[in-house]
A and B are shown apart, each in its own frame.
Chain A
Amino acid sequence: MLGYALRRLLTLVPTLLAASLLVFLFVHLIPGDPAAVLLGDSATPEEIASLTRELGLDQPLYTQYLLWLGNVLQGDLGTSIFFRIPVTAVIADGAETSILLALMTMVWIVILGVPIGVVAASYRGTWVDQVTSGGAMLFASVPTFWLGLYLILIFSVTLGWLPSSGYPSIRDTGGLANLRYLLLPSFTLAAPNAALIIRLVRASMLDVQREDHVRTARAKGLAPWKVSVKHVFRNALIAVAAAFGFTFAALVSEAVVTETVFSLPGIGRLVVQSILRRDYPVIQGVILVIVVLYMVINLLVDLAYARLDPRVSLK
């Protein structure tokens, strides 16, 4: 398994190269001039030209790419045009919020998605199933920004239980109590994905229930809950594990909206703002990090898959 993981990590290299080229080209396709944006309306053409030269943006595109790539390979993602500090530092600032948000979101997805899916499958066709499946459908269709705004209205404005926006870093306040700032955003982000997992868990439980080996388990005289947990759920998990990879991909894009709604200083909002500022190095850096993360998560999902299903051999 270790050998497989290493080989998979090696295949990341060409994928990353291709991704970096695409990212670089697309970023430079965004119309607008960073120097002009940076200097504001009062800048003279001479000032803009001089800043453009300073930033190296007057070079041919392939030279810019090779320079950037050379630096990236040395772990240097460049300097932010807007902040005038290294891109790695800009990303590190947003990472705390985004990582904690992602983790809390995954916790919500697991604690809501899996048990409710199991219950819906166990009570198939009853009102329990109808309520949970209907609820899942509802949450899957509600747009993230709408749900976020309503949660703010209920829990922050009306009830006053939870903060409506922002997130102070743990490094500054030194307490995990900050996590309550992320309760609403993470639930907002989790809702549509948890709904998907509910439906998936339910469907795969029902699929597995029809398999012959479940009848064998019942023929052993096992109590129904043991059959459900040890035999049905354990097999249903194989399909669900694969879905967590997709869920992560969805989180990355949905986080942009959620971080904006809740004014969270995370990576998602950073990307949006950097695009508005034409801050090429930051956009490129963040997207590259997301691509790496995405590929690593997919590798982890494949490894988990092989652990869950002995028929899958990693070669």
Chain B
Amino acid sequence: MTRPNTDASDLLLDMRGLTLGVATPDGILPVVQDLSLSLSTGETLGIVGESGCGKSLTSLAIMGLLEGTPVRVLAGEIFFRGRDLLRLSPRERRAIMGNEMSMIFQEPMTSLNPVYRIGDQIIEAIREHRPMSRRAARDRALELLTMVRIPDPAGRIDSFPHQLSGGQRQRVMIAMALAGSPRLLIADEPTTALDVTVQAQILKLIVELQKDTGMGVMLISHDLGVIAETCDRIAVMYRGRVVETAGARELFQDMRHPYTRGLLDSIPEADEDVDRLSAIPGRVPTLDETITGCAFHPRCARAGAGCDSDQPALTAFAPTHFARCHYPLEPDA
């Protein structure tokens, strides 16, 4: 499952030292710090963490959608197919957005424009990057709706968003994202707002489309279960930093960071008779709280000397397995 990222030509996305900050009356507060992650063609990278850990902001920064939010890129580079996105002009970035790189969002109910027919919204995405007749674009839109398995695409193409269910709307969002045949698809909590049964269908669809098109997928979720089922590689984020990253199987068999363990233990298992959910004690610290050392130490059972003063470095446990912890877990015997 896990692909080693040694072949540089395969490298689709390479973030180095990405640091994001939000301007507040008290100064600039960091929300994502020194984030380095990469993603290869055909790979599915999962980013997991509790809300507020910076995973969504990271995806918006990659996509170029931070404008209109108070968040700014403070430092770092985002290489996409060899070009640093942060050094491109707005026009050059827009040529990539919705074309080589596209994104689907958490809220399918509100992410489509309510006043336009879904077909027209897909056609707009197609024709923005590939000049073609409306008729040709409509045929292509029908093709895309078929690809995302909307039942009766010809009948649905002229529907308005409010006439579709949440799951169907998310399929339309995916169809729109595929309009430019993207190399990279960013899916930010694509199933969070959907019914559980629909969640599985949408995830399956994303995985299948990824296999068919060979695109890279960055899947962002707070749900380690969702990530585990779909991803080749996983990065766990906590308070703006990657605390552990590894191949999916590697991570579950040999997790090193206590936070990753905590996330895993928080998933209730259906076949177990659980009286109460196991939760990570404490809460995610707010942005304006300064925590020295490891940001997780106030909630960590293993915290010891140095955890409250020194930021642990990302340490290699295997060629593709890194974690940021002074007292990492021992591999299960």
Contact = CB atoms under 8 A, between A and B. Distances in A.
Interface of A: 209, 211-213, 215-223, 230-231, 234-235, 238, 308-311
Contacts of A217: 113
A211 to B, nearest CB: 7
Nearest to A223: B94
B115 A218 contact: no
Contacts of A218: 65, 67, 97
Contacts of A230: 124
Contact of B112 (A209, A213, A234, A308): A213
The secondary-structure label for the interface of chain A is helix
B115 to A, nearest CB: 6
A235 B114 contact: yes
A310 B162 contact: yes
A212 B162 contact: no
Nearest to B68: A209
7 contacts: A209-B68, A216-B112, A221-B97, A221-B180, A222-B94, A222-B98, A235-B113
B63 interface: yes
B160 A220 contact: no
Contacts of B39: none
B176 A310 contact: no
B113 A310 contact: no
Given A212-B107, A216-B173, A216-B176, A221 B94 contact: yes
B96 interface: yes
B110 interface: yes
Contacts of B98: 219-222
Nearest to B103: A219
B95 interface: yes
A235 B107 CA distance: 18
Contacts of B125: 220
B210 interface: no
Contacts of B115: 234-235, 238, 308-310
Contacts of B103: 219
Contacts of B113: 213, 216-217, 231, 234-235
Contact of A311 (B99, B129, B162): B162
Interface string B89-114: 00000111111001101010011111
Given A216-B105, A309-B115, 9 more contacts: A209-B68, A212-B105, A213-B112, A213-B113, A216-B173, A221-B97, A234-B115, A308-B115, A311-B162
